[in-house]
Structure 1
Amino acid sequence: MPQDNKRNNTGRPAAGKTVYNTIAKSTRQLALEAMVSIMENGEYCDKVLHSILEKYPLEQRDRAFLMRLVEGTVERCIELDYVIDRYSKLPVAKQKPMVREILRLAVYQIMYMDQVPDSAACNEAVKLACTNHLIPLKGFVNGVLRNVVRFYEDTPYPKAKDEVRHLSVWYSMPEWIVTRFIDQYGFEKTEAILQNFLQEDRGISLRCNLSRASKDEITTSLQNQGVKVESGKLFPVSLHIKNYGRLGDLEAFKNGWVQVQDESSLIVGAAAPVDESSVVIDVCAAPGGKSIHLADKMNGEGLIRACDLTKDKVSLIRQNLIRTGFHNVKLKKHDAMEFLPEWEKTADVVIADLPCSGLGVIGHKADIKYKTKLQDIKTLAQQQKKILQTVYRYVKPGGILLYSTCTIAPEENEQQAEWIRQNLPFEPVSLEDIVPAAAKCETAGNGYIQILPDLAGGDGFFLAAFRRKELGDNGKDGY
């Protein structure tokens, strides 16, 4: 099946059209080093790229090329490996790690970066082989890539009747995840989710800090700096931006008027019944988006205790607080599994946005789909229960527990909400009044909602809301 037809028939986005006339060899070398760190050594893509860009002050064009090349190659790795295996005598799995990553980067350029000439992709890959002490293998690299250039448009992909394999290769998703999604949502909804994960030029979502500036002021400021701005699809306080260069150069960001936060996660702040006298505890708060959302909602008054496990995570929250200027958020490095007696029954609202498998955020963190394994979901579900058994005790009688994740795994979401209902002194709180119209669902009245990634073009997200039962006549939490 011709590659161009494959893209068009499935609605898959075509390659970007940014022109790169000449790309410094060093930029491709940095891309190769990044790929080895991410795909061979298990490091996180965003951290690797951040480290490289901090160390090497690339010009904007090279910076954009590096990010596009690395993120795109990681995102489409399964499809790239499928194509390489068709035209290589040695399977990808048996190749030397450095060779494997050189081929992946080159094939991504051939298939998805139309303004990079095929000859340049091949020649630069051979140069990388030589530069990285792989001279005896330069002929192998050249031969595989020449075959790919000649034949990839006619590569026969798995047939649609083999649903799992078809979607796995077509959308570069591990088969075990595809199988789970099909079992949960059926073939068509699964394809819509996978398609959303691969959308090009996603941009980012910003939440407006309305106690700092109006949405109109923020929008005007962004547009004056040449940023493309669209209103959110779920919440009016959200904006989607593209063509923004460096985020830190935007006046609205530097002034603390906005916070980077995916739109689907705004449902946590929307569900929190807070005012200027409220006490809130956010037990796994980094990088601080939800705490700052509530700080803004509380007009900088009341008290928010924001915690996380490590100094680095607490530092991320602190940086955002300094930028946005909220002083009602108090930080603490703390393990959520450890109970703090002095916090018992002190909080009007506890936010438990807990560590999870992250299957809802694959769209902008593609490496998650390779790092997460089936057993991880089960392990994380048990960890979540342990944290919940600790942090629920911070909620006052009559107070609210908001449990959330950025995944779409039932073991961590719906099943966890049912476990809370059956095992902790809480009753569900209806979300019908705060769920955006586009996300209305039958379960909102039962106190939980699963937002799927295809809903607003953002992340998958889950929220369950509970109220702690009042004290009974015996002085204990009633059931």
Structure 2
Amino acid sequence: MRLHRNLCYAVIDGLHSIFNDKNYADKVVQQLLKRDKRWGSRDRGFIADTVYSIVRYKRLYAEIAEVKEPFDRDNLWRLFAVWATLKGIKLPDWKYFQSTPTRKIKGRFDELSKTRKYRESIPDWMDELGLKELSEPVWTKELAAQNQKADVVLRTNTLKITKSDLQKQLESEDIPTHSIDGYKDALVLNEKANVFKTEAFKNGWFEVQDASSQLVAEYLKVQPGMKVVDACAGAGGKTLHIASLMQNKGQIVAMDIYESKLKKLKVRARRNGVHNIELKVIDSTKPIKKLHNKADRLLIDAPCSGLGVLKRNPDSKWKLETKFIEDIKQTQAQILNDYSKMVKPGGIMVYATCSVLPSENQEQISNFLKSDSGKDFKFVKDKKILASESGFDGFYMAQLQKSTNA
């Protein structure tokens, strides 16, 4: 591979924005890819892949390069040189790469790779937490899986098209896909492509949604005509899936504390041809109280650490802090306590996270069932999804049912 100066400059600018200005990697990459309209798909792919790779392995590369944060531009070039050397890319005769110790880099890599926290490039506290909550073999495998590139997975919008017809349409647009067993509406891209420019996307025939995430709405066991509440709807990926499972019949109340996210859901719903969603901003306790004992089904897709989706959001490794995780567990418990009251007698509630930590998952459910708010609920089943086993995001979901006598 031959390195092109303007593409490398874009990578360095992106890393500076992510590491020093603390901007989100996905937003930064989106902006970088718009910098030069002459760039082809290979150029854009190089920028995105290189930025994400260096973000993913920041700690390992920094240890090898012997540089510390905050990274000045010279240090960012040193990180880049480590990445390129380990990829087997010949460094050009640029001033940034003068005196790059190629042999030393490879030796340091071999040495540091013997230690998990360096090899998988995570903070000490995160490694200690994973070991505490999961067994060492499980945590080791999970970290390795979370450092793999995430597949692009689509969910067929069955309100408008069948999966086989969607697959044919995408094939006609030079985007080959394949199905996966156990995920009835999912298609996985054979290779990365900009699916948002396709006619299929403009027609609302699919949404981008990881395979593990697609299992959550199905766990609700919804039926057409029900009243369903998605209490932490965000931009509505699972809300839209629920709507398709309900065949646009019945009512979905999509709630969130952020009005901006619900506005995005409104746009997505219009494109998807979904018209049975009512949007509600949780700006006080009133919206929740008005729905007490009203929901046939309740989805709590709770805010969490996101330790099941590091492959999708590698920069979160460097943004997360122990205090956030302790605080989010309190938030999860409070949400379960308050929002569970919306379930009607005999109704079903699903609690879900994109975390692999038992303290955010099984333990939250166990504590809830022992609480006064959970006394009328019974545990039905749960599902723990590890990236190392599924190949997709790490997820957890638990199904609880409220007593008919409550």
**Structure 1 length as normaliser, TM-score?**
0.78
The higher relative CO (CA closer than 8 Å, separation ≥ 6) is in 2
State the identity as a percent.
Answer: 26
Most deviating of 271-280 and 420-429:
420-429
Question: Who wins on radius of gyration, i.e. which is larger?
Answer: 1
Asked if the contact 2:133–2:357 (Cα under 8 Å) also holds between the matched residues in 1, the reply is no
Cα distance, 1:459 vs. partner?
0.7
Are residue 458 (structure 1) and residue 392 (structure 2) matched?
yes
> Number of residues paired by the alignment?
402
| Separation in 1, partners of 2:324, 2:293 | 32
Q: Which of 111, 129, 144 is matched with 2:86 structurally?
A: 111
Are residue 178 (structure 1) and residue 99 (structure 2) matched?
no
Which residue pairs with 1:136 in the alignment?
A: none
| Separation in 2, partners of 1:208, 1:358 | 25
- Against the structure 1 CA distance between its residues 400 and 40, is the aligned structure 2 distance closer, same or farther, given a 3 Å change threshold? same
Which residue pairs with 2:240 in the alignment?
A: 292
SS of residue in 2 equivalent to 1:93: coil
Most deviating of 406-415 and 45-54:
45-54
Which residue pairs with 2:336 in the alignment?
A: 388
Asked if the contact 1:234–1:263 (Cα under 8 Å) also holds between the matched residues in 2, the reply is no
Q: Which runs of 5+ in 2 are unaligned?
A: none
| Separation in 2, partners of 1:374, 1:455 | 26
Superimposed CA distance per residue, residues 11-43 of structure 1 (whole angstroms, 9 cap, x where no aligned partner)? xxxxxxxx5x45242x33332222122112222
Which residue pairs with 1:142 in the alignment?
A: 98
* Structure-to-structure mapping, 1:33-432, within 5 angstroms: 33-54=13-34, 56-57=36-37, 59-60=39-40, 61-85=42-66, 92-93=67-68, 96-112=71-87, 114=88, 116-119=89-92, 123=94, 126=96, 142-143=98-99, 146-147=100-101, 149-155=102-108, 156-158=110-112, 160=114, 166-200=115-149, 202-335=150-283, 339-423=287-371, 424-425=373-374, 426-430=376-380
SS of residue in 2 equivalent to 1:119: coil
- Against the structure 1 CA distance between its residues 390 and 93, is the aligned structure 2 distance closer, same or farther, given a 3 Å change threshold? same
Which residue pairs with 1:12 in the alignment?
A: none
- Against the structure 1 CA distance between its residues 107 and 429, is the aligned structure 2 distance closer, same or farther, given a 3 Å change threshold? same
Cα distance, 1:339 vs. partner?
4.8
| Separation in 2, partners of 1:316, 1:157 | 47
Cα distance, 1:55 vs. partner?
5.7
| Separation in 2, partners of 1:197, 1:99 | 29
Q: Structure 1: which amino acid aligns with 2:111? A: Y
Q: Which runs of 5+ in 1 are unaligned?
A: 1-18, 86-91, 127-140, 161-165, 431-446, 472-476
Superimposed CA distance per residue, residues 351-398 of structure 1 (whole angstroms, 9 cap, x where no aligned partner)? 110111000000111011111122221110101122222211211111
RMSD: 2.3
- Against the structure 1 CA distance between its residues 290 and 370, is the aligned structure 2 distance closer, same or farther, given a 3 Å change threshold? same
Cα distance, 1:334 vs. partner?
2.6
| Separation in 2, partners of 1:196, 1:76 | 13
Asked if the contact 1:23–1:62 (Cα under 8 Å) also holds between the matched residues in 2, the reply is no
- Against the structure 1 CA distance between its residues 354 and 119, is the aligned structure 2 distance closer, same or farther, given a 3 Å change threshold? same
Cα distance, 1:66 vs. partner?
1.4
Q: Structure 2: which amino acid aligns with 1:119? A: P
- Against the structure 1 CA distance between its residues 30 and 275, is the aligned structure 2 distance closer, same or farther, given a 3 Å change threshold? same
Asked if the contact 2:120–2:147 (Cα under 8 Å) also holds between the matched residues in 1, the reply is yes
| Separation in 1, partners of 2:277, 2:368 | 27
Asked if the contact 1:286–1:308 (Cα under 8 Å) also holds between the matched residues in 2, the reply is yes
Superimposed CA distance per residue, residues 225-276 of structure 1 (whole angstroms, 9 cap, x where no aligned partner)? 2223121243222221133421212333222221111111222211112222
Q: Structure 1: which amino acid aligns with 2:198? A: L
| Separation in 1, partners of 2:225, 2:30 | 39
- Against the structure 1 CA distance between its residues 329 and 57, is the aligned structure 2 distance closer, same or farther, given a 3 Å change threshold? farther
| Separation in 1, partners of 2:180, 2:284 | 32
- Against the structure 1 CA distance between its residues 175 and 257, is the aligned structure 2 distance closer, same or farther, given a 3 Å change threshold? same
Cα distance, 1:110 vs. partner?
2.4
| Separation in 1, partners of 2:112, 2:32 | 37
Cα distance, 1:102 vs. partner?
2.6
| Separation in 1, partners of 2:71, 2:197 | 41
Are residue 448 (structure 1) and residue 382 (structure 2) matched?
yes
- Against the structure 1 CA distance between its residues 276 and 170, is the aligned structure 2 distance closer, same or farther, given a 3 Å change threshold? same
